[in-house]
Amino acid sequence: MSDDKNEKKVHGIVAEYTSVDTLLDACRRVRDAGYTKTDAYTPFAVHGIDKALGIKPTVLPWIVLGGGLAGLATALAMQIWMNGINYPYIISGKPYISLPAFMPVAFELTVLFASFGAFFGMWALNGLPRFSNPIFTDPRFDRVTDDRFFLYIDAKDKSFNQAGAEKLLRDTETEYINTVVDDDTSTVIPKFLITTLITVIALSFIPLLVVARMRVTTSSQPRFHIFPDMDFSPARDAQQTTSLFADNRAMRPDVPGTVARGELEEDLDYLTGIDMESLTRLDADRAKQLVRTYAQAENGEPENSDATPKTDAPAEEKSVMDTTPWLKNNPVEITKDVVLKGQEQFNIYCATCHGRDGRGNGLVNQRAQQIMASSWIPPSSMHQESLYAEQYPDGKLFNTISNGIRKMPGYAGQIKSKDRWSIVAYVRALQQSQNASLDDVPKDQQAELKAKKADVEKALAEQAEAERKKEEERAAKAAEKE
Amino acid sequence: MSLAIPNGLDNTVERPGERAPLVLGDTTYHDITEAVCQVAERPPGRGWIFGFLVAFALLNWLGICIAYLIYTGVGVWGNQAPVFWGWPIVNFVFWVGIGHAGTLISAILFLFRQEWRTSINRAAEAMTIFAVACAGTFPGIHVGRAWLAFWLAPYPSLNLWMWPQFRSPLLWDVFAVSTYGTVSLLFWYMGMVPDLATFRDRSKNKWRRMAYGILALGWTGSSRHWMRYEKAYALLAALAAPLVLSVHTIVSFDFAVSQVPGWHTTIFPPYFVAGAIFSGFAMVLTLMVPARTMLGLEKLITIRHLENMCKIILATGSIVGLAYGTEFFIAWYGQVPEEQFAFLNRALGPYWWAYLTMVSCNVLSPQLFWFRKFRTTPWLIVLVCIFVNIGMWFERFVIVVTSLSRDYLPSAWSYFHPTWVDWSMLIGSFGLFFTLFLLFCKLMPVINMAETKSTLAKQLHMKHNDEH
Amino acid sequence: MSNHAPAIKPADDPAFTLPATLSALSIPLCAGGLLALVGGWALGSFGVDVQFGMSAYLTAFIYCLTIALGAMFFVLIQHISRAGWSIVVRRVAELMMVMVVPMAVLFLPIVVTLWTGEGTIYKWDDPGYAEHHHIPAEVWANKTIYLESKFFAARAVIYFAIWIALAVYFFRGSVTQDETGEKKITERMQKWSAPALIILALSMSFAMFDWVMTLAPMWFSTMFGVYMFSGGILAAHCAVAAGTYLLQKNGAMRDEVTVEHYHDLGKYIFGFVFFWIYIGFSQYLLIWYGNIPEETIWYWHRQLGVWGALSLVLVFLHWILPFIGTMSRHVRRQPTLMFGWSVYILILHFIDVYWCVMPEVYEGSGGTLAAVGGGIGIVASILCAVGMAALMIGLILRIAGQTRVAASRDPRFGESLAFENI
């Protein structure tokens, strides 16, 4: 605002008062004399002075209202977008867009923005901060914040003339009148302040730049660990050892008697593959033992693992295996889904040894043959009469999967009983598939299958032909060399 | 003896139809300026230095504890299953509550035109901000990985690709407390600008003048400025009043939206707000009574001011008492076994001692303020207020710990034991509070000079009218 | 600051007596009101059923009672805070507060239903209720300790005894001062206002539990009393503003009550509109968020059909509209506009009470038109409320005719005259 055309430019006239009443009186006189560019300076807000000076009301309430509305809109838009649209997820059964839950934040931001409107709006309307003001040149003006009241008439007022204004003020109850002139003190900010400021600002950018650089570059250095105990957790991984338990296993086996989710309801027939009713008639002791094993949790006395049913005894105890009244039929209702599930499980757990086709030539077997492993017992092929349903009932097959046979381990711990029954179903399907005729296939697929068969035969023939040629060539080459 | 009032005038007796003076003695505007400025201008006394050193030592101890906590993890606290909200949250609610008096005095009493607020509002507002700072510390470190506390803010994160959960009361708390802190700060600073200008105009030292000059933003006391300033002040007051209510309401939502027995009760919002005002006023009095003597402000902070605050403490204390009673009644009336157990357990369970402390400090001790003697004797006021502060801390302890230690799962029940870190942090937070408050006393205008002068002007005006 | 306070007129000035135009209305209003009340009750009871008729009566009763108790709060608050600004309008509130005396008589029919028909208004009075709602016997046995006819009546006697004592004490004090102008009376009333306020808060909260909350016997909310109070105090401020406006329109207190007083009442109305939604929303949010079926059922009933529509009416017309409407200083400084808003909020307060009481008449009705008693039911409910309100206004005018309409010899009367908003 400071005019620098004239060194000692007159800005206006100021008069000092000692009480509110004399000031108000003076204000009215000045107003009635037709001055409009006037202002009073007081140590506190004097009521009635706006009327005495003819000051118009402020637009501040509208700014505050605008701020409040902006806050409300921001809060609602933010919450709806963030929780309802951009990243929706259900929490405690509340809808994505739950207006009642959005109200508190909406209220807070309304108040926050409205308060910003009031605070910053007020300073902006007042033209503050403004550190250089000609009125500060008046030597007695310092007391305006203490106990004195000042009335000021601006030189820019249309009806301003210095002598007239001074006379007007002299008529009021004042002892001090002064002309306000330009502030001629240097407006240059001290150099070292600027230097310090620039240095501080420059330095404050360094961390930002470092962070920005880190974000766009990669580093071969291992990351820096500020809190090692949080980065390197003492928790054990699945296959590690620990000294906490006698068996040194970090991974704890199920507590005896643990029943997997969803299996509590199943009966013993289902879990063992044995017709328990018949077994009780034949061998009551063994039936009792089986019941005890599966009901440990209720008895509260966990038994040792060697009390597992005799059924998981290896092959030499053939007599038991044969005398056991196995379930003849799969207790699971056979549907396409069950068979597909069985296929999936078979391919995961069984196919490594038994091969996907069940012929007993899985990858493990191939490798064992390759390295001529001496103790290797080749896995059985599913496609032998002795394993068909008539001789090897479903229950027995289930038991074998569960508890193993010869070198084969039991899979009860890994495969759920329902899935084991699915595998049984799949194995039956697999067995049938190897003995099926074309008539077993639905009519509409027969043609397709025939075509496929032709393709395969053709491909095989070609392969055999290629093989033969290669052999011939090699033979020819060998002959040439010799 | 304690009623010794300068000028021999007792302004606690107000005859109807006449208003008792709020500024005592033949005070002039200049006297007010002098009285307030001398606090900051004279060199610190021995008492101040001693107090500051103690407070600062405690603050450092708090800093060390926080460093230890961050480095080691939250296991250093006594928080253990099922009491996962232990002392940190108790302390948080306690300090937020204390932070209510300042803005309440400034805003609500302003709107109700209670002029006696003028000489206490500044210090009370400062206390609000410092209390909110103390309060904010606790949830900040309670999140576990304190250096990631900024994840609470809804910012577009390149790492997370997700947003905070706005349906959670804990996030509402983040917004409520930070909005409250910000608005209180604006309110406090805005109210201080004219007084900072006084400091600026009185400073002899060039650097002091420059520092206060920058803070005063070039304030001249122009009537136009005053008019907008007053409007802004009134608007901010009108905004801050519901804000004060909302903050503790939202803090109460942290508890009440859950289904934990003893927490899920609809009276919580008004009851928490009343409790917050109650504890805030108690803290203001605890500090102001000694401060007015030590800083020589008896003429401005009169017994009448103290008495009025005592009355508010009595009123809010009674509301809190009624709320305790209503909770018990509804627990019985509702016939929900878990709720009934929760309340019986509060009063008669393993934490009976905490409940007893709470009731005797919060409900019984303020009843002493029915007696005039207790409202007008400064040392008795402080005594009762300290009890109220203790009681209000215990109230939060009772709410947090008794309900959590006896939840729906009896196999998880346990007894809460605080550790030395818990103790240190509670005491250390007082260090933070007092350090800031003592600095404020020395650096900033402790009393709103401009408004007090305006009260004085009204008083002079009335006297002037009476003489005619 | 320089304008001097206007002179205080002598106590027997016509400005402080009830204008003849209004006092002439007293008997017609009483008679018409009584007729409408009985007519509304009869229409509800015989046009729909007794249960409905009595509930409509209860709605009207709670509506008038909350306003009377709100007015009592207003008076006590003015005393406790030694307020100066409000003296010119305080008598209007005092006159409304005295209405707790006739309200006690009007409560009798409600008590009578506990002995005549089982579960007419209060379902817990029906011995088959527990069985019908599968409530465990043990729980119900404990519930009925509190929900028991004789105990209920005894509590009502206590509440009314408290309120009548308070109303008479503070009204008589104020009226006596009209004659004597003693400052002691003001001091005494100030002293007693603090305990009075506490007793009133407690008794009102429990009365609202008893009379409204137990309509749904298994439902409970600690905040319920505060909710009813928040609506009542808002309505009381509106009633004071509207009453003062009508007095002025008819020639009383023309110079005494200025735009400043309307402005201030307007601020309180604005504030209490906000307070009402604050309490109402907090109660709703906590129950909604906690999601416990026993608690949410109360709001669930009020989210269906007609009740759901009324819930939205309350949100938009009881909160948002008056909130925006009374926000502006210019509106508050227009007595006519403030009168309009006051009457508007008084109507909405009725809907609020209606919304609390009536959904419990036919619980689980799903808010069909039958649940509000059809067209007849709506007319009956409105007739009851209008009738009881008219009866109350008639009685107020009768008492006002015998006393004065302003506490003109209150020592702070001059301060009130000179009152100016900042």
The domain containing residue B123 runs over which residues?
6-146+164-467
CA A13 to chain centre: 68
Could you tell me the two tokens for C351?
């809907």
Report the half-sphere exposure of A122 (CA within 13 A, side-chain side): 27
Q: Is B142 inside any structural domain?
A: yes
> Is residue A87 predicted with pLDDT exceeding 50?
yes
Are C292 and B253 in contact (CB < 8 Å)? no
Beta bridge partners of C339: none
Task: Report which residue type is found at A280.
Answer: T
Are B221 and A142 in contact (CB < 8 Å)? no
Band (pLDDT 50/70/90 cuts) for residue B143 is: confident
Is C193 at the interface with chain B, CB within 8 A? no
- B408 closest CA partner among C316, A26, A310, C292: C292
Q: Is B255 helix (H, G, I), strand (E, B) or coil?
A: helix
Question: Which of C1, C284, C422 is closest, CB to CB, to A100?
Answer: C284
The pLDDT value recorded for residue A297 is: 40
Band (pLDDT 50/70/90 cuts) for residue B130 is: very high
Q: Is C289 helix (H, G, I), strand (E, B) or coil?
A: helix
* Sign of the C-alpha dihedral computed for residues C83, C86, C88 and C89 taken in this order: negative
Can you tell me the distance from the alpha carbon of B447 to that of B195, in angstroms, rounded to the nearest whole number?
9
Q: Is C24 inside any structural domain?
A: no
Could you tell me the two tokens for B17?
């139809």
With contact defined as 3+ CB pairs under 8 Å, the chains touching B are: A, C
C315 vs chain A: nearest CA distance in angstroms? Answer: 12
Note the pTM of the prediction, 2 decimals: 0.79
> Among B15-19, B89-93, C126-130, which range has the highest average pLDDT?
B89-93
Can you tell me the distance from the alpha carbon of C332 to that of C319, in angstroms, rounded to the nearest whole number?
17
Mean pLDDT of the B445-466 span: 77
Are A43 and B242 in contact (CB < 8 Å)? no
Are C286 and B461 in contact (CB < 8 Å)? no
The domain containing residue C245 runs over which residues?
30-413
Residues 6 or more apart whose Cβ sits within 8 Å of residue B229: A45, A122, A126, B190, B194
**Complete edge-to-edge strand list for the sheet that includes strand A176-181:** A38-41, A149-154, A10-17, A176-181
C29 vs chain B: nearest CA distance in angstroms? Answer: 37
Count other C-beta atoms under 10 Å from residue C355's C-beta: 18
Question: Which of C285, C329, C422 is closest, CB to CB, to A100?
Answer: C285
For residue A65, what is the nearest residue in chain B, using CA coordinates? B235
Residue with tokens 């929303």: C281
CB under 8 A, 24+ apart: contacts of A377-384: A377/A406, A377/A407, A379/A353, A379/A354, A379/A408, A380/A354, A381/A354, A382/A354, A382/A358, A382/A427, A382/A430, A382/A431, A383/A358, A383/A359, A383/A430, A383/A431, A383/A434, A383/A435
For residue A51, what is the nearest residue in chain C, using CA coordinates? C1
- Higher local confidence (pLDDT), A291 or C327: C327
Domain limits, chain A: 10-181, 268-323
| CATH number of the domain enclosing B300 | 1.20.1630.10
Strands A10-17 and A408-409: unpaired
Are B239 and A143 in contact (CB < 8 Å)? no
Transcribe A170-210 into DSSP letters. Answer: HTSS-SEEEEEE---S--PPPHHHHHHHHHHHHHHHHHHHH
Band (pLDDT 50/70/90 cuts) for residue A2 is: very low
CB environment C61-83: b (16+ within 10 A), e (fewer): bbbbbbbbbbbbbbbbbbbbbeb
- B396 closest CA partner among B258, B244, B263: B263
Q: Which whole-number Å values give the CA distances from A258 to A300, A416, B243, in the listed order?
A: 12, 13, 55
Q: Is C418 inside any structural domain?
A: no
> Among A131-145, B3-17, B163-177, which range has the highest average pLDDT?
B163-177
Are A108 and B175 in contact (CB < 8 Å)? yes
CB A46 within 8 A of CB B226: yes
Task: Report which residue type is found at C340.
Answer: G
For chain A positions 298-327, those within 8 Å of chain C (CB to CB) are: none
Mean pLDDT of the A472-480 span: 85
Residue with tokens 């103390």: B134
Q: Which residues of C touch B311 (CB under 8 A)?
A: 194
Are B223 and A98 in contact (CB < 8 Å)? no
- C291 closest CA partner among C303, C299, C281: C299
Beta bridge partners of A13: A153, A179
Can you tell me the distance from the alpha carbon of A160 to that of A162, in angstroms, rounded to the nearest whole number?
6
With contact defined as 3+ CB pairs under 8 Å, the chains touching C are: A, B
Count other C-beta atoms under 10 Å from residue B404's C-beta: 23
Q: Which residues of A touch B219 (CB under 8 A)?
A: 128, 145
Report the half-sphere exposure of B393 (CA within 13 A, side-chain side): 15
C337 vs chain A: nearest CA distance in angstroms? Answer: 20
Q: Is B1 inside any structural domain?
A: no
CB contacts < 8 A, A to C, total: 23
Q: Which residues of A touch C291 (CB under 8 A)?
A: 92-93
For residue B246, what is the nearest residue in chain C, using CA coordinates? C278
Are C224 and B270 in contact (CB < 8 Å)? no
With DSSP H G I counted as helix, E B as strand and the rest as coil, what are the percentages for chain A, rounded to 5?
Answer: 55, 5, 40
Q: Which residues of C touch B266 (CB under 8 A)?
A: 221-224, 282-283, 286-287
Question: Which ipTM did the prediction report?
Answer: 0.90
CB A58 within 8 A of CB A125: yes
Is C172 at the interface with chain B, CB within 8 A? no
Are C1 and A93 in contact (CB < 8 Å)? no
C312 vs chain A: nearest CA distance in angstroms? Answer: 13
Can you tell me the distance from the alpha carbon of B131 to that of A232, in angstroms, rounded to the nearest whole number?
37
C89 vs chain B: nearest CA distance in angstroms? Answer: 17
Q: Is C233 helix (H, G, I), strand (E, B) or coil?
A: helix
Q: Which residues of A touch B194 (CB under 8 A)?
A: 43-44, 145
Residues of C with CB under 8 A from a CB of A: 1-2, 281, 284-285, 288-289, 291, 329, 422
B404 vs chain C: nearest CA distance in angstroms? Answer: 17
Is C81 at the interface with chain B, CB within 8 A? yes
For chain A positions 28-67, those within 8 Å of chain C (CB to CB) are: 46-48, 61
For residue C283, what is the nearest residue in chain B, using CA coordinates? B266
Q: Which residues of A touch C285 (CB under 8 A)?
A: 100-101, 103
Are B242 and C222 in contact (CB < 8 Å)? no
Query: Phi and psi at residue B68, in whole multiples of 5°?
Result: -60, -45
Quote the number of domains for chain C: 1
A121 vs chain C: nearest CA distance in angstroms? Answer: 19
Question: Which of B17, B253, B259 is closest, CB to CB, to C411?
Answer: B17
Could you tell me the two tokens for B270?
């008004």
Question: Which of C1, C285, C288 is closest, CB to CB, to A48?
Answer: C1
The pLDDT value recorded for residue B157 is: 76
The pLDDT value recorded for residue C382 is: 92
Can you tell me the distance from the alpha carbon of C236 to that of C69, in angstroms, rounded to the nearest whole number?
8
Is A114 at the interface with chain C, CB within 8 A? no
Q: Is A14 helix (H, G, I), strand (E, B) or coil?
A: strand
- Checking phi first, is residue C13 left (phi over 0); if not, alpha (psi -120 to 50) or beta? beta
Question: Which of C1, C2, C281 is closest, CB to CB, to A103?
Answer: C281
The pLDDT value recorded for residue B21 is: 67
Task: Report which residue type is found at A219.
Answer: S
The pLDDT value recorded for residue A3 is: 44
> pLDDT tens-digit profile of C27-52?
999 999 999 999 999 998 888 888 88
Count other C-beta atoms under 10 Å from residue A340's C-beta: 14
> B270-279, B280-289, C125-134: which range is least confident on average?
C125-134
Q: Is C104 inside any structural domain?
A: yes
The pLDDT value recorded for residue B371 is: 87
Are A45 and B227 in contact (CB < 8 Å)? yes
CB contacts < 8 A, B to C, total: 105
Q: Is C403 inside any structural domain?
A: yes
CA B384 to chain centre: 16
Q: Is B157 inside any structural domain?
A: no
Are C1 and A101 in contact (CB < 8 Å)? no
> pLDDT tens-digit profile of A389-420?
778 888 888 888 888 888 888 888 788 888 88
Residue with tokens 């210095």: A162
CB environment B413-427: b (16+ within 10 A), e (fewer): eeebebbebbebbbe
Question: Which of A48, A92, A103 is closest, CB to CB, to C2?
Answer: A48
The pLDDT value recorded for residue A315 is: 45
Task: Give the total residue count for chain B.
Answer: 468
The pLDDT value recorded for residue B2 is: 32
The pLDDT value recorded for residue A5 is: 43
Beta bridge partners of A12: A154, A180
- What is the percent of chain A with per-residue pLDDT over 90, rounded to a whole number? 11
Can you tell me the distance from the alpha carbon of B55 to that of B49, in angstroms, rounded to the nearest whole number?
10
Alpha helix ranges (H) inside A237-346: 268-272, 276-282, 284-294, 296-299, 318-323, 336-345
Could you tell me the two tokens for B268?
């919580």
Q: Is B324 inside any structural domain?
A: yes
Mean pLDDT of the B79-107 span: 87
- Checking phi first, is residue A419 left (phi over 0); if not, alpha (psi -120 to 50) or beta? alpha
> Is residue B300 predicted with pLDDT exceeding 80?
no
> Is residue A296 predicted with pLDDT exceeding 60?
no
Mutate to test the interface with B, among A55, A126, A149, A180 (most CBs of B within 10 A): A126
CB A48 within 8 A of CB A24: yes
The pLDDT value recorded for residue B16 is: 63
Q: Is A409 helix (H, G, I), strand (E, B) or coil?
A: strand
| Cis amide prior to B164 (ω within 30 degrees) | no
Q: Is C2 inside any structural domain?
A: no
Quote the number of domains for chain B: 1
Are C1 and A61 in contact (CB < 8 Å)? no
Query: Across all residues in chain A, what is the average pLDDT?
Result: 80
- C12 closest CA partner among C408, C413, C417, C418: C408
The pLDDT value recorded for residue A265 is: 63
C291 vs chain A: nearest CA distance in angstroms? Answer: 9
Residue A390 burial class via C-beta count within 10 angstroms: exposed 0-12, middle 13-18, buried 19 and up = exposed
User: How would you write A245-276 as a 3-class SS string?
Assistant: CCCCECCCCCCCCCCCCCCCCCCHHHHHCECH
* Residue stretches of chain C with pLDDT short of 50: 1-4
Are C2 and A21 in contact (CB < 8 Å)? yes
Is C327 at the interface with chain B, CB within 8 A? no
Can you tell me the distance from the alpha carbon of A346 to that of B233, in angstroms, rounded to the nearest whole number?
78
Q: Which helix (H) or strand (E) covers residue A40, if one does?
A: strand A38-41
Are C329 and A61 in contact (CB < 8 Å)? yes
